[in-house]
Amino acid sequence: MEQIKAAIFDLDGTIIDSMYVWEKIDRDFLMQRGIPVTKEYTDTVRGMYFETAAQYTKETYGLTESIEQIMSVWLSMAEYEYAHHVRLKPFVREYLIRLRNNGIRTALATSSNPRLLEPVLKNNRIDHLFDAVCYTSEAGRNKSFPDVYLYTADQLGVAPQHCMVFEDIPEGIHGAALAGMYTVAVYDRASEGDSVYLKQHADRYIITFSEMLEEII
C-alpha cells in the first residue's frame, strides 16, 4: 500500500446506516403498484445513481409515470428520514476527525441525491469534515467503473495510488480497484450476502470503523 494521503468514502451503507430507508422505499413503492419486490431488482438498482435507477424501474415494470415523477416520489419518501432519523455507523465521526487531525484529506463519492446528502451530513454534524463531495452523476458512470473515484481524487488534488476508498458493495470495490486505489470493504447488513466477494477482492474488510481507529496513520 502506497502512503495514504486521502480517504474517499461512500455514503449509504458505508458511513451512514441508511439502507433500511431504500429497502422500505423499494418495498412500498412497488407494492403500492401491485408489484412484488425481488432480490434481482434490489441488487440491480443498488449502486445506480438516481435517474438511472428510476429509468430502470420504469422500463422493467412498464410504469406509466415519468422518470421525473418516480424520482420525486422516491425523494419525498426518503428526505424526511435522512433529515431526521438516519444515523452514522459507529465510530465514523471519531475516525473522520482523526484523519483530518493527521492531515489526511477526506471526500465523499456517492450515488446519493444532494437533497438527501446535505441534510444527513448536517443532522449528524459531519458536514464540515469533508474536503470534497462528488457524485457519480458528475463523473458520468456508476461505481462499477473508476470514473467517480478518479474524479474525486482529482478534486482532492491527490494521486489515485495515494487514496484509500471505503465501500460496502462489490461494484464500489471493483471500481475503486480499477482506479488503482487501496480498497476497504465495510460490512453492512444489506450487502451481507456479498461478504465473500468483498473479503476476497478488497484489500481489507472491516466490520466497524473502530478497527480503523487502531491503525497508525
Q: What is the pLDDT of residues 65-100, one digit of tens each?
A: 999 999 999 999 999 889 989 999 999 999 999 999
Please say whether the dihedral angle defined by the alpha carbons of residues 47, 82, 75 and 62, taken in this order, is positive or negative.
positive
Is 116 inside any structural domain?
yes
Average pLDDT estimate for 32-60: 89
Q: What is the pLDDT of residues 98-126, one digit of tens each?
A: 999 999 999 999 988 888 899 999 999 99
Q: What percent of the chain has pLDDT over 90?
A: 76
Query: Residue 33 pLDDT > 70, yes or no?
Result: yes
**Does one domain contain both 75 and 99?**
no
- Of 84, 113, 140, the last residue of a domain is 84
Q: What is the pLDDT of residues 110-166, one digit of tens each?
A: 988 888 899 999 999 999 999 999 999 898 888 999 999 999 999 999 999 999 999
Query: Residue 2 pLDDT > 70, yes or no?
Result: no
Mean pLDDT for all residues in the chain = 93
CATH number at residue 172: 3.40.50.1000
**Does one domain contain both 106 and 192?**
yes
Closest CA to 65 of 94, 32, 20, 110: 32
Cα–Cα distance between 186 and 169 in angstroms, integer? 8
**Does one domain contain both 27 and 12?**
no
Is 175 inside any structural domain?
yes
Q: Which residue has the higher pLDDT, 48 or 58?
A: 58
**Does one domain contain both 40 and 104?**
no
**Does one domain contain both 154 and 193?**
yes
**Does one domain contain both 99 and 60?**
no
**pLDDT value of residue 19:** 79
Per 3-state DSSP, the chain is made up of helix, strand and coil in percentages (nearest 5) of 55, 15, 30
Average pLDDT estimate for 14-43: 90
Number of domains in the chain: 2
Q: All 3 cell numbers of residue 24?
A: 422500505
**Spacing of C-alpha 46 from chain mean position:** 9
**Confidence band (pLDDT; 50, 70, 90) for 216?**
low
Q: Which residue has the higher pLDDT, 131 or 18?
A: 131
- Of 84, 106, 125, the last residue of a domain is 84
Taking the alpha carbons at both ends of the chain, their separation in whole angstroms is 12
Is 139 inside any structural domain?
yes
- Of 33, 62, 84, the last residue of a domain is 84
**Does one domain contain both 119 and 46?**
no
**pLDDT value of residue 1:** 56
Instruction: Name the phi and psi angles at 45, rounded to 5.
Output: -80, -20
Q: All 3 cell numbers of residue 162?
A: 495515494
Is 189 inside any structural domain?
yes
Closest CA to 52 of 125, 139, 123: 139
**Does one domain contain both 91 and 188?**
yes
**Does one domain contain both 80 and 91?**
no
Is 59 inside any structural domain?
yes
**pLDDT value of residue 22:** 82
**Does one domain contain both 100 and 112?**
yes
Asked if residues 8 and 165 have their Cβ atoms less than 8 Å apart, the reply is yes
Among the residue ranges 16-20, 28-32, 46-50, 142-146, the one predicted with the least confidence is 46-50
Buried-state track 116-150, b at ≥16 Cβ within 10 A, e below 16: bbebbbebbebeebbbbbbbbbebeebbebbbbbb
Question: 114: domain range?
Answer: 6-17+87-213
**Confidence band (pLDDT; 50, 70, 90) for 214?**
confident
**Does one domain contain both 154 and 143?**
yes
Closest CA to 133 of 160, 159, 115, 106: 106
**Does one domain contain both 31 and 95?**
no
Is 1 inside any structural domain?
no
